[in-house]
Structures are given as C-alpha cells and as structure tokens.
Chains A and B, each alone.
Chain A
C-alpha cells in the first residue's frame, strides 16, 4: 500500500509505503513500513522505491563516471579528489590498462599534480576506500576545456530525462560536455563565448533545479546568447 504519489516531495521520516516493496537509496524499512530518509522526490517504479535526493554530497558507488583532480601521488599510483568525503585511488595499471614495471618506468610522465582525470569507480569497499580505473576510451587525463563544479544532487537535472537537457546544452551551446556523477562537468568547445554561455546555463540549472520548465528556459537563454553573435 502506497501513501504517496510518484515524484512527490518527501521529507525524512515520512511514511511512504507498507508491504513488500524493494527499498533502494533514500529510504529505509522498519518492520513492514517504508520511510524516507532524505528530502527528495519519491520515485516509485513497480515494486521499487527510491528517493531522488535534492541535496547532499557525492558518495562514490561502483560504475559511476567521475571527474577527479590529482592531489597526491605514490609509488604505484595517484590520489584523486572527487568532490566527496572520500578520496579516489588510481593505480598506474588501471590508467594504462597494462602491466607496468615500476622499477623501469617513471610514472610521473602519465599524471601530475593538479591534472584533471575522467575515471570510473571500479570498487568501493566497506570502509569506503575507492578504487578508480581510467583505461576505457574517453577516460584518463583531460586536455584543455573548462571544468565546472555544481552540487552533485543536481547532476540528474543537467542530464535531463533521457539526456534531453544534455543534448540541448551540447547542440545549442556547440560544446562537448562530460558530466561526472560527482558534480564536476568538463566543457570543450571552439567558441569561448558559447563555452561561457554553457557555464552560465549550468549554474542556472543548479539554481533553478526546483522550478518547472527548465529545459525550455535553458534553450531560450542559449539561443539568445548565440543570436547575439560575435566571437
């Protein structure tokens, strides 16, 4: 038995349902009852209940693509800041996807302090130690572009339903975007004016995530800046 509508706003401690539902993130079970544990929008899909949080830090989970910044290096890898309470660990072998002879090879040629890296979370253990990998195409060290940081809870809004918002940003903004689940976004483009417009659009999404009709407004705003022309 459900006590709320789909996509309804819930607050911590609110009763969502009673009975044999599958409880996912943002909710918890007490006996037969299911309660919300965060402020968010309830998503009810079949027997699954999850709460899409509207606030909060990024907590790494396997399979997420994140954008990290190298803050430290050690004998066989690097430590990456992920805009999260936890640091990420990237071994050279997970960056190059081959065996590396650490005696012969100097790994500082691959990554240095302050480098931005697109990586995927490979594993998180129960003490929240994070293993990253960056071997797949499109991952690894980032060259050029602009890095923007927004609240990780707003990332689903930046992507939009079936990627609608992301498509708008890329097509109208004439840029290429890479969105990390941790709220960091890389932007590449030819026209610096449009890059800045997309940055503004991202901040607008973060600010107005709770107001309806957002994709249309972003579209309008980008079109306007585009039509004003100039380099």
Chain B
C-alpha cells in the first residue's frame, strides 16, 4: 500500500473511526481444552490467542525461586500473521515484547503464594494489524484469571499515537506505518497503575497528557469487556 494523501479526512480516520474510538473488540475466555486457562481476542483485524499453564513445577530446577513463583511469557507471531511471511521463531522484537508483557502482568499476580513453581503464558498472534502486544496483554490477563491464578486486578492495554498531527486511539497498521507516533500502554484499571509504556516517535508534553487520557478511558472500556468475558464463561446457567 502506498502512503495515502491524508490519514484523517473531515475528522474521520481511514476506517471511518473517530480519533478517540476503539476498533471492535471481542474477548472470549476459556476456549482451549488442554491449557489451564485461555483467551481469544479480536481487536479489529488482530487475532490473538493466549494460553496459561500453571502454577506448575518449574523446569529447569535451577530457575526455581524458593520464595515465589516465576512468570514466564512468550509472545510469538505466526508466520502467516503478516503480509510478508514472518520467519518463524523468536527474534529481537518478540523477545522484547515477551519481556515487557511479563513486566506488565507481574504486578497484579500473587506470585508469592506459589513458591518454587512457574506460571507459563503463551501469546500467539494469528493475524496482526498493529497493537498486537496490547491485544496480547488483554488476552493474557483474561487467560490468567481463567486459569484461576490469584490476581489483584486485570490488566488492560491499548495503543495511542499521533497521525496527521491528531492524537488517535488504537492505531491500525497503516496509521502505525504512516503516522508519527505510536505509544502502547498497559494499566491496572482499578488503581490506574501503568505497567507498560513504550513510545516510538515524539509527543509534546501536552500531547502526551492528552494521549494518556485517551488511553485511560479506553482501558476502562476494555476492562469492562474483559470482566464480561469471564462472567460469560462462568455464569451459572439454568437447566434447559
């Protein structure tokens, strides 16, 4: 795709959204049979699967921590998730995303309840359209709750950025590519605690404040959908 002349026309974006509007978000909890907990997230064209195993015995044994559980995260993109085939396996980018995902989730977990064990989180991106790390964190948080891992709260995550000089929420691939700034954020909604903040590009102080405000509002919205996904799976159903 060539760079479009304008990314925002008459206040609307390429896909018709307003600058402060999320893409359609769908979250489903507990869709994998074999994992202890799982979740599937669709954020616009993003399709992300998260699976959680554990707490379970840590192997290799020398990585056990005597007083706490260890959280391991793996973010992985399927070869078919992007236009040009992605070479399978961990690369610089996915190793980094795995690390920041782990750090975004760790603060909400009661890891100290399970010494010597490990909790594994696997995030598989099936289809990517910018914002996969945020979709992955949203999915992982629901999957952890679905696995019954004690948590202080959920973690909700979204990207904000600047496109054609306008602060926009939840960038698509084209906006990410041709825009000037991309800033993924993860937060613990109840306490408004930011657990992930990365930025590619520039913001002025005022723009940063405005972007953060947008992200906070969107995270509240995502938080609601995450909780609803869990309720939908576990609600007591009446006999037919």
The residues of A with any CB-CB pair to B shorter than 8 Å are 9, 11-14, 26, 28, 35, 37-39, 53-57, 59, 85-87, 126-128, 153, 210-213, 217
CA–CA, A35 and B153, complex, Å: 9
Chain B interface (Cβ < 8 Å from any Cβ of A): 36-37, 54-57, 66-67, 108, 110, 113-117, 145-154, 189-190, 227, 230-231, 234-239
Contact between A211 and B237, CB atoms less than 8 A apart: yes
Q: Which of A12, A35, A85, A211 contacts B57 (CB under 8 A)?
A: A85
A86 B66 Cβ-Cβ under 8 A:
no
Complex Cα spacing A59 to B227, Å: 25
Report the Cα distance A128→B69, complex, angstroms: 11
Option from B108, B153, B236 in Cβ contact (under 8 Å) with A211: B236
Minimum CB–CB distance for A197 against chain B, Å: 21
Residues of B within 8 A of A59 (CB): 113-114
Contact check, A212 vs B145: say whether CB atoms are below 8 A apart.
no
* C-alpha gap A37/B150 in the complex (Å): 5
Q: Are B146 and A86 in contact (CB under 8 A)?
A: no
Contacts of A217 in B (CB 8 A): 239
Residues in A neighbouring B114, C-beta threshold 8 A: 59, 85, 128
Q: What chain A residues lie within 8 Å of B237 (beta carbons)? A: 210-212
The answer to whether A39 and B146 touch across the interface, beta carbons within 8 angstroms, is yes
Chain A nearest CB: distance from B232 CB in Å? Answer: 10
Sample of 5 further A-B pairs with CB below 8 A, known A11-B145, A85-B57, A212-B237: A35-B152, A59-B113, A85-B54, A128-B114, A212-B238
In the assembled complex, the CB of A142 is this many whole angstroms from the nearest CB of chain B, namely 24
Cβ contact within 8 Å between A85 and B117:
yes
Residues of chain B within 8 A of A127, CB atoms compared = 66-67, 115-116
Chain A binding surface SS class: loop
Report, nearest first, the 10 A-B pairs whose CB atoms are least far apart: A56-B148, A13-B153, A55-B148, A37-B150, A12-B151, A85-B117, A213-B239, A85-B55, A11-B230, A211-B237
**Contact: A38 with B236, CB < 8 Å?**
no
State the Cβ distance, A42 to closest chain B Cβ, in Å: 12
Is chain B's binding surface mostly helix, strand, loop or mixed?
Answer: loop
Contact B152 A12 (CB under 8 A): yes
B153 touches A39 (CB 8 A): no
* Cβ–Cβ < 8 Å partners of A87 in chain B: 57
Q: Measured between C-beta atoms, what is the minimum distance from A82 to chain B in Å? A: 11
C-alpha gap A184/B7 in the complex (Å)? 59
A residues in contact with B238, CB < 8 Å = 211-212
Contacts of B230 in A (CB 8 A): 11, 39
- Would you give 7 A-B contacts (Cβ < 8 Å), ordered by A? A11-B227, A12-B154, A55-B147, A56-B36, A85-B55, A211-B237, A212-B236
Q: Which residues on A sit within 8 Å (CB–CB) of B239?
A: 211-213, 217
Known A-B contacts A85-B56, A210-B236, A212-B237; the reply to A38 vs B150 at CB < 8 A is: yes
Residue pair B235, A57 in contact (C-beta under 8 Å): no
Cβ contacts under 8 Å, B117 to chain A: 85-86, 128
A148 shortest CB reach to chain B, Å:
18
B120 to chain A, nearest CB (A): 12
Contacts of A9 in B (CB 8 A): 231, 234-236
When the two chains form their complex, are residues A55 and B154 in contact, meaning their CB atoms are under 8 A apart?
no
Closest to A14 in B: B227
Specify which of B54, B57, B145, B154 is in contact with A38 (CB 8 Å cutoff).
B145
- Please determine whether B36 and A57 come into contact, CB atoms closer than 8 angstroms: yes
How distant is the Cα of A217 from the Cα of B238 in the complex, in angstroms? 13
Q: Are B152 and A210 in contact (CB under 8 A)?
A: no
Nearest B residue to A126 by beta-carbon distance?
B115
Closest Cβ–Cβ distance, residue A95 to chain B (whole Å): 23
Assess whether A57 is in contact with B234, with CB atoms less than 8 Å apart. Answer: no
CB distance from A213 to the nearest CB of B (A): 4
Docked complex Cα distance between A35 and B67 (Å): 24
**Complex formed: what's the CA distance from A203 to B153 in Å?**
32
Task: Please measure, in the bound complex, the distance between the C-alpha atom of A82 and the C-alpha atom of B170, giving whole angstroms.
Answer: 45
Q: How far is the CB of A201 from chain B (nearest CB, A)?
A: 16
Residues of chain B within 8 A (CB-CB) of A12 are: 108, 145, 150-154
A87 to B189, CA, bound (A): 37
Which of A37, A53, A54, A126: most chain B CB closer than 10 A?
A: A37
